[in-house]
Amino acid sequence: MKYILFPAATLIAAIALSTGCTGSKSLSDADAIPTNDNVILHAWSWSFNTIADNMKDISDAGYTFVQTSPANTCFIGENGGMALFSQPGDSVSGKWYYYYQPIDWKIGNHLLGTRDEFIAMCDSAKKYGVKIIVDVLPNHTAIDHTAVTAALDSAVGGHENLFHANGFNDIIDYNDRYQCTTGKMGGLPDVNTENPDFQYYYMQYVNDLISCGARGFRYDTAKHIGLPSDSLDAKSSKNNFWDIATGREAVNGISLLMPDSLFIYGEVLQDKNVKEEEYAEYIDQTASSYGHVLRNALNAQNYYADSLADWHHKVSPDRLVTWVESHDTYCNAHESAGMSDEQIRMGWVFLTARQHGTPLFFSRPDGSTRENYWGNNRIGARGNDEFKHPEVAAVNKFRRAMHGQPEQVIVSDNGAVIEVARGNKGIALINFTDHAQPVSLPTTLPNGKYHDKVYDKEFTVTDGHITGNIAPLSSCVIF
C-alpha cells in the first residue's frame, strides 16, 4: 500500500477533488485554491551586466524573479580582487562576501557594477517580463568600520550615531534577542537601524533602487533587526525599522515607494526564540529548517529519512521562501556543496512542483565540481548551466501552469519515487535515488497515456494508478 500525504492546507480541497464535492467554489476556478506561482533565480555573484546579458535565458527557463547580490557601495578588500574565494598563492585575490560589508548605501560597487548598469539590467528584466529582487543589508557595516564614507557619517549625525550602543559587543548567545538585535555579528558592527537619520538615508537608497527598476528585496540577517516587542538599545526610543522599511510609517517625510507592488522577504534563520510570527506581520521568511530536512532526505535517497510532510515553520507556507540550498549553505560551512547537481535538481523539482512556498534556485559557480566548489572562481561571471537545465525549466513552467490547483504528495513504499500531483491537471515524478525505479503509484490524472515534457517518457494511467519507469536521479513533468 502506498503512503499518500494530504498537507493540512489542502486536505479539504483534495477530498473534494476525489469525491466530486466542491463546496462553495468549483475547483475549476483557478482562484479557488490559494497557490504560489513565482520562482526566484538567485544569480549569486553575477554582475549586473551578466544578468542583463542572460535575461532571455532566465525568462525562457520560467523564472519570474531574479535576485541580485548586494548592490550597495561596499568595502574594497584584497586590493579589489575579483576571485569568489582566493587561497594563498592564487593568481587572483578576492572574496565574495565583501559586498556584504557596506561602507555606504548608494547603488553600485566594484564587484557587480555601476548604477547605470543596474538600470540597464532592470530595463532588460522588464523587457522579458522578469522582476528584480535586490539583496539589501541595513543591519551592519564593514568589519573595518573606519572605511565608512564621510557622507554616511555626516548623514547620521556623526560616526558614533551610526551604531547601536551595544553594536561593538560580540553576540555570545544568538538566542538572546537583545544580543541578537543589537550586537556585533561575525565581527560586523551593528548599525542603529532605529536612528531616524539612518532610516531616512537608507530609505533614499531603497527608493532609488525602486526608481531604477527593482521590484523586491531580500533582507539579509533580518532576524538581527529588532521588532517592536524586542528590548530597546540604549540609543533607541522605539523599534520601528520594519514599519519604516515596509511602508507603514514615513521617516522625516520619506516613505517606501509602491509598497503594494513589492515582494519583500527576510533571512530569518530558524533557531530557538526567533519571533517568526511577528516577523510575518511585515515580511515573508526563509524556510531554512525545511531546506535542511530536504537535503537529509536527498542524501539518504529516501523521502522517509526526514520529516518532509511538515514545513517546520510557525508561519503559513505561502509566506515562506524555500530552497534546496542557499549561498550560505554552499559557501560558508559547505553544508550543501558536496551534493551533486543532480541531487539539487531533484530537490528543486520537488519544491517547485508544490503548491506553497516561493522557491529560490541558487546558481552555483561555473565550472564548479564536488572537489572544487569555486569552479572558475570569478565574481561577475554567470553560474553554471543548471539554472536552465531542461528539468528545471520544465518544473518552473509547470508551477505557473498549475495555478489554483491543490497538491497531493504521493510516495512509493521505499521512499524512492515521489509524485507531486496538482489537482487532476498535472504531476511531477521525482526519483531521489541513483538507481532506475519502477513507477506504480496512485494518481489524480485521468486515464490515458502521457509523455513527460523533457524526456518524452511514456506513462500509463489506469483506474487512478500510474505506471512506468524513471531513470536515476531524474524527474518527469506531465501536464
| Catalytic positions, written as ranges | 220, 267
CA distance 79 to 97: 14
Q: List CB contacts of 61: < 8 A, sequence separation 6 or more.
A: 41, 387, 388, 392, 393, 396
Grid cell locating 437: 525505479
Report which DSSP code applies to 38: -
Grid cell locating 443: 494518481
CA distance 443 to 478: 12
Angle among Cα 419, 423, 429 to the nearest 5 degrees reads 15
Q: Which run of H or of E encompasses 289?
A: helix 288-300
State whether residue 126 is helix, strand or coil: helix
What is the DSSP secondary-structure string of 323-374?
Answer: -S--HHHHHTS-TTTTS-HHHHHHHHHHHHHSSSSEEEEE-PBTT--SS-TT
CA distance 308 to 293: 7
Q: Which run of H or of E encompasses 477?
A: strand 475-478
| 464 close to 443: Cβ distance less than 8 angstroms | yes
**DSSP H helix total and E strand total for the chain:** 13, 19
Grid cell locating 15: 477530498
What is the DSSP secondary-structure string of 200-248?
Answer: HHHHHHHHHHHHHTEEEEEETTGGGS--TTSPPPTT-S---HHHHHTTS
CA distance 372 to 448: 46
CA-wise closest residue to 387 among 133, 2, 60, 101 = 60
Grid cell locating 313: 515553520
CA distance 36 to 15: 21
- Amino acid identity of residue 455, one-letter, is Y
CA-wise closest residue to 194 among 226, 171, 231 = 226
Measure Cα distances from 462 to 18, 124, 129, 448, 449 in Å. Answer: 15, 47, 40, 7, 9
| 278 close to 230: Cβ distance less than 8 angstroms | no
**Looking up cell 529588532, which residue turns up?**
226
Grid cell locating 171: 553576540
